[in-house]
Amino acid sequence: MLIRVEGVSFRYPRAKEYSLKNINLKVRKGEFLGILGASGSGKSTLCLTFNGIIPHSIKGEFKGDVYVKGYNTRDTSVARLSTIVGLVMQNPDSQLFNMTVEEEIAFGLENLGLNTEEIKRRVRWALKITGLEGLENEFPPNLSGGQKQRLAIASVLAMKPEVLVLDEPTSQLDPLGKEQVLSLVTLLNKKQGITIILVEHNTEYLLSFADRVIVLDKGEIILEGKPKHVFEEVETLERLGIKIPASVKIAHELKKRGILKKAALDEKELLYEILDLFRRVP
Ligand SMILES: Nc1ncnc2c1ncn2[C@@H]1O[C@H](COP(=O)(O)OP(=O)(O)O)[C@@H](O)[C@H]1O
Ligand SMILES: [Mg+2]
């Protein structure tokens, strides 16, 4: 087990309410975990417990334990944890502060005490995998939104983390940028075997690529399981304002009315169900 969250509750300093309430969660090596939940449900707070920012940098009332590769985050520095858990946030601008793309990627590596050859190797690898080759000498603020977010991911990847935690990485991007970033996330998980924890509102994407999803509500995990099972809870998800793919919703309504026998996860499945219906008509 790569990450174990055991009975974690967290209250920010001076906050009245707990932002996380008795969270229990395990993440396996190589797994792709999606996190869903309304705004303010605790998604970002949970992400900050994976690399020790909570409780080390953001103090407050922290109960329970988080283990990363067996290390209790309470006893392990954020610097150390960052070599295992890479965190990418919503706004790429807040994570980029070097003069060139190449320097941005190399920046964190210099602090790891790696030799120049190894740094060069890792920078080249990170540029290649994120599709930023050719932009080495570009000034980061001049990049497109999707390129900036891929650069933020490249900088984190160069540290060779085992887990990549991405907190709404596409929310500030245009449709092309969103697609670039989500394709990259899929590639990193399926081809590079990197464990992914992704907060993302694109439910179609999670249905296709996540191995498991959790749904947070007011700091608690209220649903957990394979995407196709979680997305059967249409009423609960709608109550939380979570967008449900149209085909899933249509199938759900038809099933409720006894017209379809099974739920459907996408247009193709819905179409098959409907065709099957006609086949059954004498
Ligand atoms: N720095 C903070 N201080 C006090 N309360 C906070 C802070 N950050 C977040 N919160 C509160 O914690 C709850 C969860 O927030 P957050 O984890 O950001 O949710 P999400 O990422 O799902 O939108 C919210 O009620 C929010 O107001
Ligand atoms: Mg958030």
Is there a single domain that holds both residue 219 and residue 270? no
Closest atom, ligand 1, to C-alpha of 42 = 17
Tally of domains within the chain: 2
Residue among 11, 14, 18, 44 to mutate when testing ligand 1 (max atoms within 8 A of CB):
44
Is there a single domain that holds both residue 175 and residue 56? yes
Is there a single domain that holds both residue 120 and residue 179? yes
Give the pLDDT confidence score for residue 273 in this predicted structure.
Answer: 86
- Ligand 1 geometric centre to CA of 19 (Å): 6
Is there a single domain that holds both residue 81 and residue 18? yes
Residue among 12, 35, 61 to mutate when testing ligand 1 (max atoms within 8 A of CB):
12
Query: Which of 211, 243, 195 shows the shortest CA–CA distance to 34?
Result: 211
- Per-residue pLDDT tens digits for 218-262: 999 999 999 989 998 999 999 999 989 898 889 889 988 998 888
Is 103 a residue whose pLDDT tops 80? Answer: yes
Domain of residue 113: give its range.
Answer: 3-244
Is there a single domain that holds both residue 201 and residue 77? yes
Give the model's confidence band at 28: pLDDT under 50 very low, under 70 low, under 90 confident, else very high: very high
Structure-token pair, residue 132: 């930023």
Is there a single domain that holds both residue 107 and residue 189? yes
Is there a single domain that holds both residue 142 and residue 91? yes
- Per-residue pLDDT tens digits for 212-224: 999 999 999 999 9
- The CATH code of the domain that includes 119 is 3.40.50.300
Is there a single domain that holds both residue 42 and residue 91? yes
- Ligand 2 geometric centre to CA of 172 (Å): 12
Query: Which of 99, 119, 20 shows the shortest CA–CA distance to 63?
Result: 20
Q: What percent of the chain has pLDDT over 90?
A: 81
Is there a single domain that holds both residue 279 and residue 200? no
Is there a single domain that holds both residue 184 and residue 270? no
Residue nearest to atom 1 of ligand 1 (CA): 12
Residue nearest to atom 17 of ligand 1 (CA): 42
Pocket of ligand 1 (CB under 6 A): 12, 15, 19, 37, 39-45
* Contact (CB, 8 A) for 227 and 57: no
Between 17 and 255, the more confident residue is 17
Residue nearest to atom 6 of ligand 1 (CA): 12
Is there a single domain that holds both residue 126 and residue 259? no
Give the distance, in angstroms, between the CA of residue 51 and the centroid of all CA atoms in the same chain.
14
Beta sheet of 32-37, edge-to-edge order:
85-88, 163-167, 195-199, 32-37, 212-217, 220-225
- Per-residue pLDDT tens digits for 62-102: 999 999 999 999 999 999 999 999 999 988 888 899 999 99
Is there a single domain that holds both residue 177 and residue 208? yes
- Ligand 1 geometric centre to CA of 21 (Å): 13
Structure-token pair, residue 194: 């990197």
Is 116 a residue whose pLDDT tops 70? Answer: yes
- Ligand 2 geometric centre to CA of 271 (Å): 35
Give the pLDDT confidence score for residue 281 in this predicted structure.
Answer: 67
